[in-house]
Amino acid sequence: MFSVSVQSDQMPPVICISGRLDTNSSPLFSKEITPLLEKEKHVIVDMSRCNYLSSSGIRLLLSATKTLRAKGGRLLLAGLTGEVYQVIEMTGLQKVFDLFDDVSDARGFACRPGLDTDVEGKQPYNGEHLRQVMAGKGKQASGLWEGDAVAAYNELGFSVGEGCPSEMCGSKEKVNGMFVTALNCAGFIPFDENFPPDFRVADSPAAGSVYVQKALSFGVEPSAMFVAIKPGKIELAKLIADIQLFSESYSHSSNVPIAFALAGNSHNRPSLSVGCVVPAGFFKHIEKRLSKSGIAFENHVVPGATFLLGQMETVCENIGPEELTRKMLTFENVLDVEPLGLSFEIENPVVWLFLPHEIKKAPQSLLAVEMEESARFDPRVDFLVRRIYNDSSKIKVKAIHGGYSAKTYQVDSYDNDGRKLRPTVLKVANRAMIAREAERCQKYALPYIFNNSAMVLGAQYFGDTGALRYNFVGIGGEHTRLKWLTHLFESWPVEKLEPVFDKIFREILKPWYGQTIEEKIALFHDHDPTLTFFPMIEDEAQKLFSLSSDEPEIKMEETGQKQVNPFGFLKHEYKRMHGHKFDYYTSVCHGDLNMQNILLDQDMNVYLIDFSETRPRSVVSDFARLEAIFMIEYANVEAPEELKAMMEFASRFYAVSSLEVLPENSYSGKYSEAMARNVSMIRKVRQYALENARGTATILPYYLALLEWVLPIVCYRSATLAQKRLSVVIAGVLCGKVQESLL
């Protein structure tokens, strides 16, 4: 049974409802609330005993909200049950209604200082052509954007500025001009008349963006709303005169810009315009380039643009510009955009005025970024960082060096109250890599690897660039000290390293490698490095060593021996064998497992990062990746004699034709101790490979996986020239062994 009662002993009054607010009970609720809406500014609805809310009930609450807001008031909904909140959340109206936990919180909000602004408290203004019908939130700050930036539509709100569509950021063919934004839409008027005006409509205000050089943003909450006193057409210049008189009546400084949104209700020329009134000289480029359109007004200018529409719905007195733009500025309804002109005649205009009291650096919600000047983000990355750290007011960024195809940063972030959030890692790379990493971490790492604590917290994209944020806190908390496996490898003896490797590969990663599936796989296709990050291998080899990929053999001057040309083998034999499939074991593999993608804390807990290449593939792939590191990246080969000794050793080392035959250490050069260490670790990872391949001794999958990483070393920026030459020799020997296994 439904009941309603009113408590008016305190202000604002409270209307309490109990039961179902639906079609049957709506008339009773409407009868009780209507007198309150007529005489009160704020009304609280206690819904703690309302157990059902129908669509008719929602319509009543929306109507009451608009009625009160039209006179600067609020409808405050308190104590919603979970069931009722779910209905409101499903419709997205939690963003429209003012919701509170209980009546006490609602009353505290209604009575707080500053809810009623000075604009709301004054008598409505009537000018020569316009009359005021609504007071909004009063005076607010305007945001000033200066310097190169990419700004989202939701950051700009209603704005006017100089710039261009964001996808042209960084392009040599960038066409600058004037732009305006209106919530989810932007209009562009190029300064160069050879280029026509254009517009963009975004799915949501956060999805659209503009490349900004200078702009003023005014938010989305107007200070006042006006309608024409008499029906008919009025020149824009006359409307501007009324607007200026209104702003002056509220002690608004003539040096502080004001902005307006303007709906034209003409059947022949429906339109929605956005513009601002600024002192002459404020937008110098706009004044200079658009002077023909007549934007000068006494000692001010009025830059802006008009969206020409297919239709315009009748604008009622309690609708706001935010709601109107959502409805009217769609791809189906926007026909064109043109610069605003003071001589334009607008029929039956409706004007929303934005009346800032000061200009602040734009906007106050922008993220404060502290980092080394030499490592500053470009505008596109800065935009992504603001979006991905939208829960933060400030971040401290430190570049993490390393990484071939991505840039990574350690980030400390702080909320709006200055409290430190958990440390995270920011990774910036091309869109495809970031999308893969976000998807594959979720799909292959988190469900399987217990000790992995790299959790993706968000990904954002701009053009071909992507940014990924993930937490990276050890099990022991923020003060856990994490070290790359590289650090342990370089400082620990082999006998201490082997138990660590056993833990990583026989325990932590067992859910991957210990659950193999036998299937047919295209080994040559899967391990072709030119299909991933290194399509330029052949060109690099030609440039570095004058090695043509069309020659079947090459002669290395250090050894005087001929061997298979690995780049010719890659160009011709790989392509020939791409479609051939082999029976072998697959498992989930990291795909780029190096010792800087494995971290350990002081308690030897293991953490993995960088999952962009993680997927099911040959089970021995990750182990072969580590062998390439031990054999080449840790080879001391700078002196010519050491390079020759290493090449001769490598030729013998890869003579084995079975995975179960562990290669011997026959190195006899100067760095015998270091090579003994490397060979010991290579033998170790080969044992892991054999175990996870279920004892299958065929060497072909392992050598192809090894070639996938040995061949691209000629492209590595970090590899020395001697290491690159060594990689050519090893790749040639491996290609020879692969040829033998195919015969």
Q: Report how far residue 152's alpha carbon sits from residue 130's, in angstroms, rounded to the nearest whole number.
A: 33
pLDDT of residue 292: 66
pLDDT of residue 509: 94
- Of 362, 279, 322, 78, the closest CA to residue 183 belongs to 322
Residue corresponding to tokens 């020759």: 644
Q: Report how far residue 148's alpha carbon sits from residue 383's, in angstroms, rounded to the nearest whole number.
A: 11
Burial class (CB in 10 A: 0-12, 13-18, 19+), 330: middle
- The answer to whether residue 665 scores a pLDDT higher than 50 is yes
| Average confidence (pLDDT) over 167-190 | 90
Confidence of residue 569 (pLDDT cuts 50, 70, 90): very high
Q: Report how far residue 507's alpha carbon sits from residue 519's, in angstroms, rounded to the nearest whole number.
A: 24
Q: Is the dihedral of CA 63, 65, 68, 72 positive or negative?
A: negative
| Residues 78 and 61: beta-carbon distance below 8 Å | no
Strand partners, 279: 300
| Residues 211 and 156: beta-carbon distance below 8 Å | no
| Residues 263 and 350: beta-carbon distance below 8 Å | yes
Least confident of 45-49, 135-139, 476-480, 689-693: 135-139
Q: Is the dihedral of CA 449, 455, 458, 459 positive or negative?
A: negative
pLDDT of residue 116: 47
pLDDT of residue 533: 85
Confidence of residue 120 (pLDDT cuts 50, 70, 90): very low
pLDDT of residue 117: 41
Q: Report how far residue 727's alpha carbon sits from residue 721's, in angstroms, rounded to the nearest whole number.
A: 10
Stretch (H or E) spanning 64: helix 55-70
Q: Using one digit for the tens of pLDDT, what is the confidence trace for 142-152?
A: 899 988 899 99
Least confident of 134-138, 278-282, 347-351, 720-724: 134-138
**Which of the 8 DSSP states describes residue 137?**
S
Q: Report how far residue 653's alpha carbon sits from residue 632's, in angstroms, rounded to the nearest whole number.
A: 13
Fold for the domain defined by 484-742: Aminoglycoside 3'-phosphotransferase; Chain: A, domain 2 (3.90.1200)
Fold for the domain defined by 368-471: Phosphorylase Kinase; domain 1 (3.30.200)
pLDDT of residue 376: 79
Confidence of residue 115 (pLDDT cuts 50, 70, 90): very low
Q: Report how far residue 213's alpha carbon sits from residue 714's, in angstroms, rounded to the nearest whole number.
A: 42
- The answer to whether residue 404 scores a pLDDT higher than 70 is no
Q: Using one digit for the tens of pLDDT, what is the confidence trace for 94-110?
A: 878 889 999 998 888 87
Q: Using one digit for the tens of pLDDT, what is the confidence trace for 16-39?
A: 999 999 999 999 999 999 999 988
| Average confidence (pLDDT) over 116-141 | 66
Instruction: Determine if the peptide bond prior to 13 is cis (ω within 30°).
Output: no
Q: Using one digit for the tens of pLDDT, what is the confidence trace for 6-17?
A: 998 878 899 999
Q: Pairing mode, if any, of strands 356-361 and 140-152?
A: parallel
- The answer to whether residue 245 scores a pLDDT higher than 90 is no
- The answer to whether residue 298 scores a pLDDT higher than 80 is no
Backbone angles phi, psi at 640, to 5 degrees: -55, -40
Give CA separation, 83 vs 19, 26, 96, 97, 327, in Å. Answer: 12, 18, 18, 16, 29
- The answer to whether residue 243 scores a pLDDT higher than 80 is yes
| Average confidence (pLDDT) over 446-468 | 86
- The answer to whether residue 495 scores a pLDDT higher than 90 is yes
- The answer to whether residue 386 scores a pLDDT higher than 70 is yes
| Residues 415 and 234: beta-carbon distance below 8 Å | no
Highest mean pLDDT, choosing among 279-283, 402-406, 453-457: 279-283
- The answer to whether residue 118 scores a pLDDT higher than 50 is no
| Residues 75 and 45: beta-carbon distance below 8 Å | yes
Least confident of 312-321, 334-343, 566-575: 312-321
- The answer to whether residue 137 scores a pLDDT higher than 60 is no
| Average confidence (pLDDT) over 496-502 | 95
| Average confidence (pLDDT) over 647-651 | 92
Question: What's domain 3-110's architecture?
Answer: 2-Layer Sandwich (3.30)
Outline where 389-536 has alpha helix (H): 431-440, 485-491, 494-503, 510-513, 523-526
Q: Report how far residue 700's alpha carbon sits from residue 737's, in angstroms, rounded to the nearest whole number.
A: 8
Confidence of residue 403 (pLDDT cuts 50, 70, 90): low
Between helix 55-70 and helix 26-39 the angle, nearest 10°, is 10
| Extents of the domains making up the chain | 3-110, 117-365, 368-471, 484-742
| Average confidence (pLDDT) over 206-224 | 91
| Residues 425 and 482: beta-carbon distance below 8 Å | no
Half-sphere exposure of 650 (CA within 13 A, CB side): 28
Least confident of 373-382, 417-426, 560-569: 373-382
Confidence of residue 503 (pLDDT cuts 50, 70, 90): very high
Dihedral (C-alpha) 485, 487, 488, 491: value to the nearest 10 degrees?
A: 160
Least confident of 126-135, 163-172, 453-462, 694-703: 126-135
pLDDT of residue 401: 67
Mean pLDDT for the chain overall: 88
Query: What's the one-letter identity of residue 419?
Result: R
Say what percent of the chain tops pLDDT 70. 93
Strand partners, 226: 132, 351
Strand partners, 432: none
| Average confidence (pLDDT) over 360-385 | 81
Q: Report how far residue 503's alpha carbon sits from residue 205's, in angstroms, rounded to the nearest whole number.
A: 49
pLDDT of residue 638: 84
| pTM, full prediction | 0.75
Q: Using one digit for the tens of pLDDT, what is the confidence trace for 220-236?
A: 888 888 989 888 899 99
Q: Pairing mode, if any, of strands 198-201 and 185-190?
A: antiparallel
Q: Report how far residue 77's alpha carbon sits from residue 367's, in angstroms, rounded to the nearest whole number.
A: 32
| Average confidence (pLDDT) over 710-722 | 91
| Average confidence (pLDDT) over 280-303 | 81
pLDDT of residue 506: 94
pLDDT of residue 477: 67
